[in-house]
Amino acid sequence: MISYELHTLIDNIEELIKKKDWEEIKNKLLDIPASDIAYLMEHFNEETQLIIFRLLPKIKSAKVFAEFETDKQESILKNISNKKIKQIILDLPPDDRTEIFGELPGKVTQTLLNILPINERKEALSLLSYSEDSVGRLMTPDYIAVKPGWTVRKALEHIKEFGKDAETINIIYVVDDKWHLIDSMPIRKFILSNSEALVKSLMDRKFVSIYVNEDQEKAAKKMKKYDMVSLPVIDPEGILIGIVTIDDILDVLEDETTEDFQKVAAVAPFGINYTTASPWMLYVKRVGWLSILLITGFISAKIIANFETTIESVIALAFFIPILIDTGGNTSTQSATLIIRALATGDLTLRKWFSVVKKELLTGFLLGISLGCIFFIRSLIFKDGIPLALTLGFSIICVMILSNFIGAILPMILTKIKLDPALISSPLLTTIIDALGLLIYFYIARFIFSL
């Protein structure tokens, strides 16, 4: 639901467009943030969107363009001149430019590359040569670097001259003559130091960096661990080739979180916002997992069929099947969610697997005792008989222990073999626990009822 202010602004702009009062529209858009303009444009038809976009100042139009989803970007590019496209692309930061090139269809990307000046084209092609999830695709080459033999005065003059084109000047990088990274320092060190002091006298050579081919998620973890606003990117020889800034990392974290949520729900990640996904795409991304889960669900049906005699002998056993397997599935999902999150934040490492197993087994036992007592007391109250009460009590204890163990250990196994632990989705865990829980339940029933 849009706010009253936004609704009023939409009405005003539509009225101004009818009057062809372009200057007033420009004035209204002047102080609105780029992200708000992108959101505002979603409430207009395509023709009005193009009118508004053409009225934006060149710097703001680039920022608004970067906020659009890929399909909207493609639509805009098809309907404006090459001169306007060139202006927008050149005004984008290199990292945003590379992201757009990487997401648009190949034919559109090629067209954009061809209209760029030779230097910008080489830069874009260089960034595009790195794998999609690598730090190289996320970095920007716009940073400030100084030499250790410079005076602080010379370094500050250099920062003033080139800082306006840099992604950030909060951190200044020190490189040698061959461009090897040898230190990184906050700009306040330069501002507060004697202007005639040499840069090398300020250095402590303690810095954190990341290799260009590393995964973007690793960059996010490093920046969080060391509380950094920018992270230098180096090649295998230690040469500084770019930086990753906190705004790009926040985008990565948002994308990773969205992807994990989709995987946990047994949906193949679809890489775009839900609102722009078509019903066909949602079908394609969901039908595979649902088919697998349906087929694996046949195992539970087969187990029940194999214990048909047991159920016929004690009909009451059938009444508690849904409660038992649902509780087991919920327990395993809780455990898996905690472990996956701990792995993602770095709170848990694979070296601690044994302590995790011990902790989850004990937790499962305590949960089982608590729920088993509830089951047992309930059976006594409703006079189901001691044998059924014991069956339910012992079954839920065993299922809780097993569910907790499996929910904790499977994400760790996937991490060990270099797979995303989020693949252990809630529906998949539930399906596994259903089958194992039924086996436990029926074998305990057979034993207690001597069937």
Condensed to tens digits (0 to 9), the pLDDT of residues 178-236 reads: 889 999 999 999 999 999 999 999 999 889 999 988 988 889 889 888 889 899 999 88
| Nearest-angstrom CA–CA distance, 260 and 269 | 8
pLDDT of residue 89: 75
Question: What percentage of the chain reaches a pLDDT higher than 90?
Answer: 22
Instruction: Give the pLDDT confidence of 296-349 residue by residue, as tens digits.
Output: 778 888 888 888 888 888 888 888 888 888 888 888 888 888 888 788 777 788
Reported as a pLDDT band with limits 50, 70 and 90, residue 118 is low
Choice between 371 and 12, residue whose per-residue pLDDT is larger: 371
Type of residue at 170 = N
- 42 CB contacts (<8 Å, ≥6 apart)? none
Q: Tell me which DSSP letter residue 151 carries.
A: B
Query: Which among 314, 320, 308 has a CA at the least distance from the CA of 372?
Result: 320
Q: Tell me which DSSP letter residue 105 carries.
A: -
Average pLDDT of the residues in 23-32: 81
Tell me if domain 4-129 and domain 145-245 are identical in fold: no
Tokens of 387: 């044998």
The sign of the CA dihedral 238, 96, 346, 328 is negative
- 205 CB contacts (<8 Å, ≥6 apart)? 182, 183
Reported as a pLDDT band with limits 50, 70 and 90, residue 4 is low
pLDDT of residue 270: 53
- Min mean pLDDT across 87-96, 345-354, 363-372 is at 87-96
| Nearest-angstrom CA–CA distance, 211 and 240 | 10
Tokens of 58: 């060149």
pLDDT of residue 109: 67
pLDDT of 282 strictly over 80: no
pLDDT of residue 221: 84
The dotted CATH code for 145-245 is: 3.10.580.10
pLDDT of 400 strictly over 60: yes
| Nearest-angstrom CA–CA distance, 31 and 39 | 15
Query: Which among 39, 32, 38, 69 has a CA at the least distance from the CA of 53?
Result: 38
Average per-residue pLDDT in the chain?
82
With b for 16 or more beta-carbon neighbours within 10 A and e for fewer, the 121-139 pattern comes to eebbeebbebeeebbbbbb
Average pLDDT of the residues in 80-109: 71
**Total Cβ atoms within 10 A of residue 186:** 13
Q: ∠172-177-178 over CA atoms, to 5°?
A: 100
pLDDT of residue 125: 61
The sign of the CA dihedral 74, 75, 78, 83 is negative
The sign of the CA dihedral 195, 196, 202, 207 is positive
Domain spans in the chain, listed from the N-terminal domain onward = 4-129, 145-245, 274-449
| Nearest-angstrom CA–CA distance, 195 and 156 | 9
- Min mean pLDDT across 5-19, 357-371, 407-421 is at 5-19
pLDDT of residue 146: 95
H or E element that contains 145: strand 145-146
- 21 CB contacts (<8 Å, ≥6 apart)? none
Phi then psi dihedrals of residue 203, to 5 deg: -80, 145
Strands (DSSP E) contained in 163-213 are 171-175, 181-186, 210-211
pLDDT of 285 strictly over 80: no
| Nearest-angstrom CA–CA distance, 394 and 201 | 71
Choice between 176 and 81, residue whose per-residue pLDDT is larger: 176
Q: Give the fold, CATH level 3, of 4-129.
A: MgtE N-terminal fold (1.25.60)
User: HEC profile for 248-292?
Assistant: HHHHHHHHHHHHHHHHHCCCCCCCCCHHHCCHHHHHHHHHHHHHH
- Report whether 289 contacts 297 (CB < 8 A): no
The dotted CATH code for 274-449 is: 1.10.357.20
pLDDT of residue 172: 95
Reported as a pLDDT band with limits 50, 70 and 90, residue 426 is low
- Report whether 376 contacts 390 (CB < 8 A): yes
Instruction: Give the pLDDT confidence of 238-281 residue by residue, as tens digits.
Output: 999 889 988 888 877 776 666 666 555 555 555 556 566 677 77
pLDDT of residue 32: 82
Phi then psi dihedrals of residue 138, to 5 deg: -100, -20
